[in-house]
Amino acid sequence: MSVTVAVVVANIYFIQPLLRMIAENFGLTVAKAGSLAMLSQVGTALGMLFFVPLGDKFERRSLILVLLLGAVGALVLMALAPNVICLAVAAFFLGAFCANVHVVVPFAAHLAAPEQRGRVVGMVVSGILMGVLLARTFSGTLGAWLGWRAVYGLAAGAMLLLGAVVRVRLPEDRPETVLTWRELMLSTLMLAKRHALLRESALLGALLFAGFSAFWTTLVFFLAGSPYHFPNPSAAAGLFGLVGAVGALAAPTIGHLAHKHGPRYTVSVALWTTLAGFVCMGLFGRHLAGLIAGVIIMDLGVQIGHVSNQTRIYSIDPAARSRLNTVYMFVYFVGGGLGSLIGAAMWHAAGWWGVCGVGCVVMLLALAVEFLHGRAGGDSNQ
């Protein structure tokens, strides 16, 4: 399951180091190329909303397989897209079908013995993290070597192979409670209406992911121009995925602070850390050491925030964790999609300072939201 979610989630992020090549292929501006990354993330948000709750209605292994096959079709269309309209449609549906990862995670929790559930879920979630981080390295390196279409062709083959493994290795599992899709959606909406902590966590997650996506969508264009002028900016952007892993993989070390001070404390740490990363990249990003340091700090902050927010929402109602996660991840990916779009537009309008400015502004907004909600009281330890 950990390998499954890693392979599936990687498909959403392949596009970021490839945007410059795609833009040149179809004669797109930076802003229009950035909208392709935005469409994938909006597709994932809608996939979270429409597909993930079905895990409480349909046999889970079959649902996972259907969504995998849907992703294969979208990847093939990406690889063969004759024009930008086909590419945009494929990017949207690829994102939607790749919401599959959030069907797998609750399935893993359901299959695990109670005393092993935390370890099992942690292992599967670590697969998501590695897929997100290494996707850029894979697509940037392979795209520079074989072209961007080859990335999606090979990914389609990998997903077909994965589907065969899933069919053989995962057990059949039918939900115990049968609900209509309407009942599932209404109960999910009621959770969002009822719990202020869920709304706050989702908004903070969306703002963190918006800044994160604005950076990663435009990085390849920054590396292609002054002062770097990398001959293969896609490959260089891919390697920065490994740089980001240094920060992101350090995030679990913050766990003892969450245990000691509560998740609200670590959320605040995450917001200030991410803001510091964007400030570092804005001031020193034209020097390689400054850019590397900023990426590490930013990725560390975003991952701390994501882990802390999910810790908070899972404490709200243990019986509704899948639906709580649906609300959180839907808003999270809407934020990412808007971040990609706004980041590309600001790169076109104001260059590197515009991108870092977007990151700083959304982090200041997030800090204001966190401060105001904290003052409201009632869940200060969460």
Residue 23 lies in a domain: yes
Question: What stretch of H or E contains 344?
Answer: helix 321-376
Residue 273 scores a pLDDT above 90:
yes
Quick check: helix, strand or coil at residue 83? Answer: coil
Q: What is the CATH number of the domain that holds 313?
A: 1.20.1250.20
The Cα 234–Cα 336 span in angstroms is 21
pLDDT value of residue 323:
80
pLDDT band for position 382 (50/70/90)?
A: low
Between 157 and 258, the more confident residue is 157
Task: State the Cα–Cα distance between residues 129 and 133, nearest whole angstrom.
Answer: 6
> What does the pLDDT read at residue 308?
80
Residue-wise over 341-354: b if at least 16 C-beta within 10 A, else e? bbbbbbbbeeebeb
Read off the pLDDT of residues 232-255 as tens digits, 9 standing for 90 and up: 888 888 888 788 777 656 655 555
pLDDT category of residue 260 using cuts at 50, 70 and 90: low
**Other C-beta atoms within 10 Å of 242: how many?**
12
175 inside domain: yes
pLDDT tens for residues 315-349?
A: 788 667 778 888 998 899 889 889 988 998 999 89
Q: Tell me if 324 is assigned to some domain.
A: yes
Compute the mean pLDDT over every residue in the chain, rounded to the nearest whole number: 86
pTM of the predicted model as reported, rounded to 2 decimal places: 0.81
Domain of 305 in residue numbering reads as 2-376
- Mean pLDDT, rounded, for 30-45: 86
pLDDT in tens, 98-117: 999 988 877 887 787 776 76
Q: Is residue 381 part of a domain?
A: no
Whether residue 36 is contained in a domain is answered as yes
What percent of the chain lies above the pLDDT cut of 70?
90
In a domain? residue 382: no
- pLDDT at position 75 over 60: yes
Q: Which residue has the tokens 């204001």?
A: 368
More confident residue, 307 or 376: 307
| Secondary structure class of 57 (helix, strand, coil) | coil
Q: How many structural domains comprise the chain? A: 1
Q: Is 80 inside a domain boundary?
A: yes
Q: Which of 131, 134, 153, 141 is nearest to 18 (CA)?
A: 141
Between 315 and 69, the higher pLDDT residue: 69
> In 3D, which of 146, 160, 153, 163 has the Cα closest to residue 64?
163
Q: Which of 71-80, 130-139, 253-262 tops mean pLDDT?
A: 71-80
- Residue 378, pLDDT score: 46
Nearest-CA neighbor of 244 among 306, 303, 307, 296? Answer: 296
Rounded distance, CA 57 to CA 88, Å?
30
